[in-house]
Amino acid sequence: MRRGWFRNGMLGLGLAFLYVPILSMIVFSFNNSRLVTVWDSPNSPTLRWYVRLLENDQLLGAAWISVLVAAMTATGAVILGTIAGLVLTRFGPFRGRAFLSAMTTAPLVMPEVITGIAMLLLFVSLEQLIGWPEGRGMLTITIAHITFAMAYVTVVVQSRLAGFDDVLEEAALDLGARPATVFFRITLPLILPALVSGWLLAFTLSWDDVVISQFVAGPGSSTLPMEIFSRVRRGVSPDINALATIMVLIVAIGVVLSTLYMKREEKRREREEQMARRDGNG
Amino acid sequence: MSQKTVDRGQEYVRIEGVTKRFGDFVAVDSVSLSIFKGEIFCLLGGSGCGKTTLLRMLAGFESPTAGRILIDGQDMAGIPPYERPVNMMFQSYALFPHMTVAKNVAFGLEQEGLGKTEIERRVGEMLEIVKLGEFARRKPHQLSGGQRQRVALARALIKKPKLLLLDEPLGALDKKLREYTQFELINLQEQLGVTFVVVTHDQEEAMTLASRIGVMNKGQIVQVGTPTDIYEFPSSRFVADFIGSVNMFEGQLTEDEPGHVRIRCPELDATVYVNHGISAAPEAKVAVAIRPEKIELTRSELAATENRTRGTVKEIAYMGDMSVYLVRLESGRLVRVTIPNTERHADERIVWDEMVYLSWHPSSPVVLTV
């Protein structure tokens, strides 16, 4: 009895610790008051800030830039990360393998400020030397994001590749498939789940990033987090709450849908395997 | 045991002094071997004996450090797996989990660039041969172990390989299914005339499947022969001990004539008389190996002075079709004897702690010098 009480209490505390901040933000997004910390009860709840948000071209523009950058980053990072993961797991020991492995994962531990400065220096000196990239903007942000997001994708792809036996690839070779065919018909479909989660991970990382973007962005290429950050410095305005609430909502829907899908797939698989065992007499 | 006549004239695979090193470890040590067309050749050995490495070299996944491999007269050096006239059935079956049974089987033919209708026809035929026609649209995880094994077999055989390599083909099946599948494999092999090379650590599997067996130990082939050869005429202590169970006694050669030999075995408390000659140095230390089923047990004292001894029954294990007796000799050695249970009633059977006499025919013991 007492133990149940204690357990539930602790669970409540844990959940509160995680979700009260988000919840309060959501609640305040429906607040009518201009001041973020004052609840204007006579006129609340209201969708006032949501409407304001839709009229705010600057924020919407920044959001669009963020989406573009994140999508390009995710795609680029998945391509490079897959190649790196493949080389590290399937090409056996070669000279420089340890170095490559260390270098691809270095951005995981590198402070973002340092990555940001390094990228900025690179872009500036490249521009002086070969005239490319011209100035800084979406392109430089994307390149910078790819370099660090790729590290995460590499890790995800690598662990997926290590998880499935390369005997499947050998079997395909044995059946007469050339290495390129083996990759596209066997390896790629099998690591697809890892590529999808790698893509989503890279997308989120890019979407989140302020520090690196801050260094390599140019005029007119502010991403959404940069925009929010600069606004918040001038004082938190309630339309940011509305924006954040929408973002939380989108993420929550995504998570719920993918969980439901995975649960269903798992159930289906289990049922089919049971059926195979039952009617499998030989 | 299936004893098939093999046309020894047609050498199909020739392995010449093949060695494979992984760093300092010698996995395969200068193996030379001929495999004949249309036979089922079994590479038999414990884990780490190099049998799988040898098989992988035939498939082209590993290349020999030294020596060469010829298949149908063609040197395989530098030829990648996808260009060899060889297919493999993997131990884990290695079915592509994202493809249906039909797609798995069709994969090899698609690589040959055959037309769609031709592929469909041949896949249909092959699935009928392995009795999986109704499962064509299932995915591998929807199949039982035995069905998966047959898909793997069909997928390899549809390529019409000159040589089919099978890595522990029955290892993942339960006992009943294994026996059934063994005979099915032999039938398929006869039907299609493909040469099989089977790797296994299971001697029973090797005995039933193989027309010839190559026993491997520490990277070397220690004996090649028919299952009967290997079982009845092992050439070394290792083979005698590895195949089946055996009672092995150390002894000393006392008489070595062309027609017979006599060996004194203190452990056995007897002189062993063997009715054929061996070629060994006089007074040589040799081992005498006698299979448990070749020893007779009686209660009454024997008149013979050789090839007999006595002891007390220490253990009896009733196995249904036969019983295993462990008899302790006066020297303290335990001897294993198996006796078929031809009678249903147990009244006459020898029981625990009885004094018994053991004897064997002069042709039964195998004298081993190495």
Contacts of B107 in chain A (CB under 8 A): 172, 175, 177, 185
- Indicate yes or no: CB of B96 within 8 angstroms of CB of A186: yes
CA torsion B246-B247-B251-B254 (nearest 10°) is -80
* Positive/negative CA dihedral, A27, A32, A37, A41: negative
The pLDDT tens digits of the residues spanning B148-196 come to 999 999 999 999 998 999 999 888 788 888 888 888 888 888 888 899 9
Q: What is the pLDDT of residue A1?
A: 55
Whether A172 contacts chain B with CB within 8 A: yes
CATH number for the domain whose boundaries are B245-368: 2.40.50.100
Domain ranges of chain A: 59-224
In this prediction, residues B359-363 reach a mean pLDDT of 93
Contacts of A190 in chain B (CB under 8 A): 97-98
Nearest CA in chain B to A187: B96
> Distance of CA A183 to CAs A174, B95, B108, B159, Å?
14, 16, 15, 21
Contacts of A170 in chain B (CB under 8 A): 59, 61, 81, 90, 94
Nearest CA in chain B to A181: B111
Tell me how many helices (H) and strands (E) chain B has: 8, 20
Q: Where are the alpha helices (DSSP H) in chain B?
A: 51-59, 101-111, 116-129, 145-157, 175-192, 203-209, 227-232, 237-242
Residue A17 has a CB neighbour count (10 Å cut-off) of 9
Amino acid letter for position B86: V
Q: What is the pLDDT of residue B27?
A: 95
Whether B116 contacts chain A with CB within 8 A: no
Output the six-digit token pair for A173: 């070779």
Q: What is the pLDDT of residue B3?
A: 44
| C-alpha closest to that of B313 among B341, B355, B349, B346 | B355
Q: How many CB pairs under 8 A join A and B?
A: 84
Q: Is the pLDDT of residue A279 over 70?
A: no
Q: How far apart are CA B215 and CA B206, in angstroms?
A: 10
Q: How far apart are CA A168 and CA A147, in angstroms?
A: 31
In this prediction, residues B228-232 reach a mean pLDDT of 93
Q: What is the DSSP letter of B301?
A: P
Cβ atoms of B297 and B350 closer than 8 Å: yes
Nearest CA in chain A to B144: A280
Lowest mean pLDDT among A206-220, A264-278, B290-304: A264-278
Q: Among partner residues B98, B144, B159, which is closest to A276 by beta-carbon distance?
A: B144
B248: left (phi over 0), alpha (psi -120 to 50) or beta: beta
Domain A59-224 fold: MetI-like fold (1.10.3720)
Whether A224 contacts chain B with CB within 8 A: no
In this prediction, residues B353-366 reach a mean pLDDT of 92
Q: Is the pLDDT of residue B334 over 60?
A: yes
Q: What is the pLDDT of residue A34?
A: 80
Whether B147 contacts chain A with CB within 8 A: yes
Q: Is the pLDDT of residue B2 over 50?
A: no
Mean pLDDT score of chain A, rounded to an integer? 89
Q: To which residue do tokens 């195949």 refer?
A: B243
Radius of gyration of the CA atoms of chain A, in A:
24
- Indicate yes or no: CB of A280 within 8 angstroms of CB of B144: yes
Binned at pLDDT 50, 70 and 90, residue B232 comes out as: very high
**Site from B22, B63, B82 to mutate, A interface, most A CB atoms within 10 angstroms:** B82
Whether B82 contacts chain A with CB within 8 A: yes
Cβ atoms of B70 and B76 closer than 8 Å: yes
The pLDDT tens digits of the residues spanning B30-86 come to 999 999 999 999 999 999 899 999 999 999 999 999 999 999 999 999 999 999 999
Whether B163 contacts chain A with CB within 8 A: no
Whether A118 contacts chain B with CB within 8 A: no
Q: Where in chain B is the domain with CATH 2.40.50.100?
A: 245-368
Q: Where in chain B is the domain with CATH 3.40.50.300?
A: 11-240
> Chain B neighbours among A 231-260 (CB < 8 Å)?
none
In this prediction, residues A142-154 reach a mean pLDDT of 94
* Burial class of B30 by CB neighbour count within 10 A (0 to 12, 13 to 18, 19+): middle
- Indicate yes or no: CB of B108 within 8 angstroms of CB of A175: yes
* Positive/negative CA dihedral, A244, A245, A248, A254: negative
- Indicate yes or no: CB of B142 within 8 angstroms of CB of A186: no
Contacts of B155 in chain A (CB under 8 A): 175
Q: What is the ipTM of this complex?
A: 0.85
- Indicate yes or no: CB of A174 within 8 angstroms of CB of B88: yes
Nearest CA in chain A to B112: A176
Lowest mean pLDDT among A70-84, A193-207, B266-280: B266-280
- Indicate yes or no: CB of A167 within 8 angstroms of CB of B94: yes
**Sheet strands side by side (includes B212-217):** B86-89, B163-167, B195-200, B40-44, B212-217, B220-225
In this prediction, residues B334-362 reach a mean pLDDT of 87
Does the domain at B11-240 match CATH 3.40.50.620? Answer given as: no
- Indicate yes or no: CB of B59 within 8 angstroms of CB of A280: no
Q: Is the pLDDT of residue B220 over 80?
A: yes
Contacts of B157 in chain A (CB under 8 A): none
> Chain A neighbours among B 169-228 (CB < 8 Å)?
177, 180-181
The pLDDT tens digits of the residues spanning A183-234 come to 999 999 999 989 999 999 999 999 989 999 999 998 888 999 999 888 888 8
- Indicate yes or no: CB of A175 within 8 angstroms of CB of B107: yes
Cβ atoms of B82 and B111 closer than 8 Å: yes
Q: Is the pLDDT of residue B120 over 50?
A: yes
More confident site: A274 or A19: A19
Whether A191 contacts chain B with CB within 8 A: no
- Indicate yes or no: CB of A175 within 8 angstroms of CB of B143: no
Lowest mean pLDDT among A131-135, B51-55, B206-210: A131-135
Whether B141 contacts chain A with CB within 8 A: yes
Instruction: List CB contacts of B61: < 8 A, sequence separation 6 or more.
Output: A170, A173, B81
Binned at pLDDT 50, 70 and 90, residue A254 comes out as: confident
* DSSP track, chain A: -HHHHHHHHHHHHHHHHHHHHHHHHHHHHT---SSTT---GGG-S--HHHHHHHH-HHHHHHHHHHHHHHHHHHHHHHHHHHHHHHHHHHS-S-TTHHHHHHHHHHHHHS-HHHHHHHHHHHHHHHHHHH--S-SSSHHHHHHHHHHHHHHHHHHHHHHHHHHS-THHHHHHHHTT--HHHHIIIIIHHHHHHHHHHHHHHHHHHHHH--HHHHHH--TT---HHHHHHHHHHT---HHHHHHHHHHHHHHHHHHHHHHHHHHHHHHHHHHHHHHHHHH---
Cβ atoms of A25 and A245 closer than 8 Å: yes
| C-alpha closest to that of B360 among B274, B263, B239 | B274
* Burial class of B300 by CB neighbour count within 10 A (0 to 12, 13 to 18, 19+): exposed
Q: How far apart are CA B275 and CA B364, in angstroms?
A: 9
Nearest-Cα distance to chain A for B309, in Å, is 49
